[in-house]
Structure 1
Amino acid sequence: MLNLPLTLLGLLSATQLVDGFYLPGVTPTTYKEGDSVPLLVNHLTPPAYHEMKYAYSFDYYFEHLHFCQPPELVKQSESLGAIIFGDRIYNSPFELTLLKDESCKQLCSSSYPAAESSFVNALIKDQFSYNWLIDGLPAARRLHDQRTNSDFYGAGFELGQIDETDPEVAHLINHFDIQVEYHQRGENEYRIVGVTVVPYSIERQSFECPSAENVDSSPKVTLSNKEEARDVYFTYDVRWVASETAWATRWDKYLHVYDPKVQWFSLINFSLVVICLSLVLSHILLGALRKDIARYNEVNLDDDYQDQTGWKLVHGDVFRKPRYLLILSVIVGSGIQLFLMTLVTLGFALMGLLSPSNRGSLSTVMFILYALFGSVGSFVSGTVYKFFGGEDWRLNMLLTPLLIPGIIFGCFIGLNFFLISAGSSGAIPFGTVIAIVAIWVVISVPCSVFGSILALKREAPSQPVKTNQIPRQIPTQPRYLSTIVMALVAGVFPFGAIAVEMYFIYSSIWSNKIFYMFGFLFFCFVLMAATTALVTILMTYYTLCSENYQWQWRSIIVAGGCSVYMFVHAIFLSKFEFGGITSIVLYIGYSLLISFLAFVITGSIGFLSTLIFVRKIYGAVRVD
């Protein structure tokens, strides 16, 4: 069910690029009159992120749903990313023939026992939705956005309807009015460019359908949990409608920006924040540093005057080997690996290379890029480990591709057991788990080993000052310079850059919504990275001025403060009412995992930017 799991070319054109480009290899299907057009079914998904009670989806042919099945059930081949994020696509008993309209065509009749009736009613009340596919396009509802006064297609449609007079009564949909839009390219050449469904609930004792003018006023199907069993008759209509929409732009009507003014306001607002923060740093920090460096370099050893305070006093300890250097270097290397994976993936999506028609392409590309960037992550990890005097390089080589991925994989497997126990379609099959491990072992681990060996053979960056043998005593620090306080203060700024997009990302992950606003997301991600580097450098400067030279772990924790706000946002600022312990565990578990990954990414950005800053300032002063 999870559909995860984050512009320099022009924000306005970015969203348009996604509309018109398709991933290479995704070719249009041309039909002829009389050709069979398959209708595929995907899982049933819960409602919008802020209204959901379930944190998982159900297979379309889940045994308690009693939906009509074809004579031979065939599972469609899917990409690795689609499987990981819960897509389970099968064939269906619907028969669609190009340009052949159908009216009240029989599907099947299903019997609903009392127990299954209660289950289906609960899903209807919780607003679960069908997800069908025709020629790669989702079957959708026609919607209208009053804020932008525009019409668009919302992917999926409701499983049932709530009674208008009694909210406790649910009506199951058993008649589907399917409208397929086609575009004629030439003589007897047609392409599918749109699919909408108008669902109805019709109470009846046979397959007979009421007339079009009476369908809305007809009695509706009500499944009772008190009866022995209830027969429901399923039917459907098919209408073929000519359209001027070209195949290359058929996704335009599906891709809709909700309240774009909020997105632009957020983007412009935090762009100004970053610019102002940069100016403040340039004016205060750089100005102060110039004065400090000039004053330090003017003082001779023979002078009676010696500074008793300032960041120069800790020059003999600032590059001292930090505690748990091995873990620190692994976190930094893994963070850079995740950062590059996210940045490059968003860049591909921004240029329109990841089409929504190729389901799971985004997550598949992310997974492959993460494995390939293992070489860069291990190189950075080995370089940091070597810079601070680490000696057990073999252990560093081993832990870099295993520690963080192992934590992710362990959480992934643990949460998968809850999905299995709930009967969710999002449960990852055993074969897919083996495939993930195989890709990890075959691609990621060798790339990581190569990066570690390259870092070992390459000469480590030099330390601009020598480290004293005896550590300097750190004076008592003010409370406002404590690590927790600094992390909470510093975390507000990078979180602000990504806060608005977090809502849309979570809606895509938990509600099967199509996310395509990669122009906004790319720029927000860059803003978040830049803001993280700036605020971490500023906090580190204040730390060094208070004669605290233990900046290494502090820079990671301070930069990672953004992840705390991400988790708080996911848990406390979202309007949801979970329906069971499984949903609670899944939502909190995945939110923790997302926040942890954000901590690793921002922590590595903060550490490396601080390392560059510290080497720069101590390389500029004269230490005899």
Structure 2
Amino acid sequence: MAFRRSLAVRTFSISALLLILVHGSFCFYLPGVAPEDFRKDDTLKVKVNKLISTRTQLPYTYYSLPYCPPKKIVDSAENLGEVLRGDRIENSPFEFKMRAPKMCKVVCKITLDAKSAKEFKAKIDDEYRVNMILDNLPLVVPVQRRELESATVYQLGFHVGLKVHIPGSKGDKYFIHNHLAFTVKFHRDLQTDSARIVGFEVRPFSVKHEYDGKWEDDNTRLTTCDPHAKHTVMNSNSPQEVEENKEIIFTYDVEFQESDVKWASRWDAYLLMSDDQIHWFSIVNSLMIVLFLSGMVAMIMLRTLYRDISKYNELETQEEAQEETGWKLVHGDVFRPPNNSNLLCVYVGTGVQFFGMTLVTMMFAILGFLSPSNRGGLMTAMLLLWVFMGLFAGYSSSRLYKMFKGTEWKKTAFRTAVMFPAIVSSIFFVLNAIIWGQKSSGAVPFGTMFALVFLWFGISVPLVFVGSYVGFKKPAIEDPVKTNKIPRQIPEQAWYMNPVFSILIGGILPFGAVFIELFFILTSIWLNQFYYIFGFLFLVFVILIITCAEITVVLCYFQLCSEDYLWWWRSYLTSGSSALYLFLYATFYFFTKLEITKLVSGILYFGYMLIASYAFFVLTGTIGFYACFWFTRLIYSSVKID
């Protein structure tokens, strides 16, 4: 009785705890940082971030241009992902007071020399945009859609300036945005009178400011500003031209607007920058097509194999049963170790490492930990997960290596830990040297490079060796059938079973499962937009796994029926060939969607897409390999072999 009472109390306690956790989950905001409350006249710190351009893909620091600096420039602490993205967050001379509007506040006055004028013109030519941050919210420019009067889209940052061709003039004229009309939206708590920032917008103007008398910094009265008017800029029709020896006065306004948007929903406007209807419809359409094809393939394979296996098991005494199809005739060679088996083990281990990293990253992203509000969080998580997944890479490569009767597991472990990162690091080092030569903030500093090397050799390599040691100590995987000592001769194959042709055909379906989602991913990376629908991305990833497995199994079955037992490498290359189509699509995207004209920017684009395609090859190839590995072991263990 006492035991039952104790058990009931424990059950009630556990249930109560679960209810508390479930209730608490509705109150816990995962993305971004904790909210900060501001009272009236509290100081708001405006920070500046990198200058970005979709035309060059080369970020620069804000103060690489002769903008007005604060008394002392202070760099904000950035995580690993932010540094790799080229983010350089610094303080600014813009001073805001909560719910205290300012009209035509003077920041500074500068006189352009030849070098400064040239730098401004170059950035205006390349359509660079200025990024700022307030309370972890990026600065956006609201743009009214022409087709929908009530709809507003938001563009990240504002342009440095404008280039205008004036008829009758010798060349183009350049005008700088030197007056910024900020709008800070806040949500007020009526009980405490504190407020939280829920929006940060700007309208940039180019104004040729004028003043009376002698310049006295902040005390100078500008005749081009009217502090009593709603729009403080009076002569905005007279823009500020960028020319040598020109005097430029930088000013700004601050307006505060109360909003009904709550703090937890403040990112909604930022994440709806693209047409969601097209996005959702395209994704669903792609998933339906791939699911239909996958269902058809699975049904055909199940029916065919069931008939073959049943027939062989029922007619095992009849010799003619063994000659009806060819896949059973190669049972003595199908598990013969392939050529370059060590290299295959390395690639399979690396693919397992990538698969684990991708899966766990998506889980964190779906939960909201890697939302756009957590700048650099996605890249940081991917790097750290890649490092710690080295344990599974070593284990899987070592297990496969021992099955191939290998004895020097340390060499395989070293290759698994070094080969793929070495290839990627070589390409990355060359690209980083190019970025460094352009004096871009996208260049990875030496300190960060040292941190990456430490993660590689200090953590990843030891974990790979630990996994390899554990895997090699395990009993070897036994083949379901014995392997003949003398290899069987492979008959002449039909043209459609040619390895190159079948491999290229096999990569089309996996690529078809992801190419629509790939468009949005490329857009978010190269056109500086937020990517946030990780739920759909996870569904696409699941469909990719199913598609890679099924198309590889189907082609492997046809190959074995043709009495060709060299399936090890072909199974890896069949689904891995989808990476070729990914790179070709990236090339198509480059020429149709991007406006990159500089050679350096083109090299960076194709260099990074080459790394992405190589990683995709390793991932999809491993999925196809393990699907065939499971398939061959299943069918040859299901039939009776004399």
TM-score (norm 1): 0.90
Greater shift, 593-602 or 476-485, is seen at 476-485
Q: State the match for 1:46 in structure 2.
A: 53
Q: State the match for 1:218 in structure 2.
A: 237
Give yes or no for contact 1:483–1:557 (8 Å, CA) kept in 2: no
Superposed counterparts of 1:193-592, under 5 Å: 193-206=198-211, 208=222, 209-211=224-226, 212=231, 215=234, 217-224=236-243, 227=244, 229-256=245-272, 258-300=274-316, 303=319, 306-307=322-323, 309-574=325-590, 575=592, 576-592=594-610
Cα deviation, 1:170-211, whole Å, max 9, x if unaligned, reads 321111011111222243422211100100011235572344
Greater shift, 441-450 or 327-336, is seen at 441-450
Superposed counterparts of 1:52-67, under 5 Å: 53-62=55-64, 65-67=65-67
Partner of 1:371, secondary structure, is helix
- Tell me by how many angstroms 1:319 deviates: 0.9
Partner of 2:86, secondary structure, is coil
Greater shift, 390-399 or 505-514, is seen at 505-514
Is 1:182 aligned to residue 186 of structure 2? yes
- Tell me by how many angstroms 1:279 deviates: 2.9
**Percent identity over the alignment?**
39
Greater shift, 258-267 or 158-167, is seen at 158-167
User: Which one-letter code corresponds to 1:175 in the other structure?
Assistant: H
CA, structure 1 residues 147+272, in 2 after alignment: closer, same or farther (shift >3 Å)?
farther
Q: State the match for 2:132 in structure 1.
A: 132
- Tell me by how many angstroms 1:503 deviates: 2.0
- CA distance in structure 1 between the aligned counterparts of 2:109 and 2:26, rounded to whole angstroms: 40
- CA distance in structure 1 between the aligned counterparts of 2:428 and 2:323, rounded to whole angstroms: 54
Partner of 2:541, secondary structure, is helix
CA RMSD of aligned residues (A): 2.4
CA, structure 1 residues 265+249, in 2 after alignment: closer, same or farther (shift >3 Å)?
closer
Cα deviation, 1:421-473, whole Å, max 9, x if unaligned, reads 01111111100111112222333223222211221121232211111111112
Greater shift, 599-608 or 549-558, is seen at 549-558
Partner of 1:61, secondary structure, is helix
- CA distance in structure 1 between the aligned counterparts of 2:595 and 2:567, rounded to whole angstroms: 42
- Tell me by how many angstroms 1:99 deviates: 1.7
CA, structure 1 residues 75+193, in 2 after alignment: closer, same or farther (shift >3 Å)?
same
What stretches of structure 1 of length at least 5 have no aligned partner? 1-17, 48-52
Which of 165, 183, 196 does residue 191 from structure 1 map onto?
196
Q: State the match for 1:13 in structure 2.
A: none
Cα deviation, 1:592-622, whole Å, max 9, x if unaligned, reads 1111101010000010111001111111122
Give yes or no for contact 2:104–2:232 (8 Å, CA) kept in 1: no
- Tell me by how many angstroms 1:213 deviates: 7.4
- Tell me by how many angstroms 1:333 deviates: 1.2
Size of the aligned set, in residue pairs, is 597
Partner of 1:402, secondary structure, is helix
- Tell me by how many angstroms 1:159 deviates: 1.6
User: Which one-letter code corresponds to 1:496 in the other structure?
Assistant: G
Give yes or no for contact 1:19–1:251 (8 Å, CA) kept in 2: no
- Tell me by how many angstroms 1:479 deviates: 2.5
- Tell me by how many angstroms 1:352 deviates: 1.6
- Tell me by how many angstroms 1:299 deviates: 4.8
Q: State the match for 1:31 in structure 2.
A: 38
- CA distance in structure 1 between the aligned counterparts of 2:492 and 2:320, rounded to whole angstroms: 27
Cα deviation, 1:317-338, whole Å, max 9, x if unaligned, reads 1111111111111111111211
Greater shift, 567-576 or 311-320, is seen at 567-576
Give yes or no for contact 1:42–1:130 (8 Å, CA) kept in 2: yes
CA, structure 1 residues 24+145, in 2 after alignment: closer, same or farther (shift >3 Å)?
closer
Q: State the match for 2:217 in structure 1.
A: none
Q: State the match for 2:175 in structure 1.
A: 171
What stretches of structure 2 of length at least 5 have no aligned partner? 1-24, 212-219
- Tell me by how many angstroms 1:21 deviates: 6.5
Greater shift, 434-443 or 232-241, is seen at 434-443
Give yes or no for contact 1:266–1:497 (8 Å, CA) kept in 2: no
Give yes or no for contact 1:560–1:602 (8 Å, CA) kept in 2: yes
Is 1:155 aligned to residue 143 of structure 2? no
- Tell me by how many angstroms 1:286 deviates: 2.1
Partner of 1:74, secondary structure, is coil
Cα deviation, 1:541-566, whole Å, max 9, x if unaligned, reads 11111111111111111101211111
Partner of 2:112, secondary structure, is strand
- CA distance in structure 1 between the aligned counterparts of 2:266 and 2:454, rounded to whole angstroms: 37
- CA distance in structure 2 between the aligned counterparts of 1:460 and 1:268, rounded to whole angstroms: 43
- CA distance in structure 2 between the aligned counterparts of 1:265 and 1:30, rounded to whole angstroms: 39
- Tell me by how many angstroms 1:284 deviates: 2.2
Q: State the match for 1:10 in structure 2.
A: none
User: Which one-letter code corresponds to 2:83 in the other structure?
Assistant: I
CA, structure 1 residues 253+435, in 2 after alignment: closer, same or farther (shift >3 Å)?
same
Give yes or no for contact 2:342–2:412 (8 Å, CA) kept in 1: yes
CA, structure 1 residues 501+306, in 2 after alignment: closer, same or farther (shift >3 Å)?
closer
- CA distance in structure 1 between the aligned counterparts of 2:630 and 2:472, rounded to whole angstroms: 20
- CA distance in structure 2 between the aligned counterparts of 1:24 and 1:279, rounded to whole angstroms: 37
Larger radius of gyration: 2
- CA distance in structure 2 between the aligned counterparts of 1:273 and 1:180, rounded to whole angstroms: 45
Cα deviation, 1:139-187, whole Å, max 9, x if unaligned, reads 1111345788643433222221233756943321111011111222243
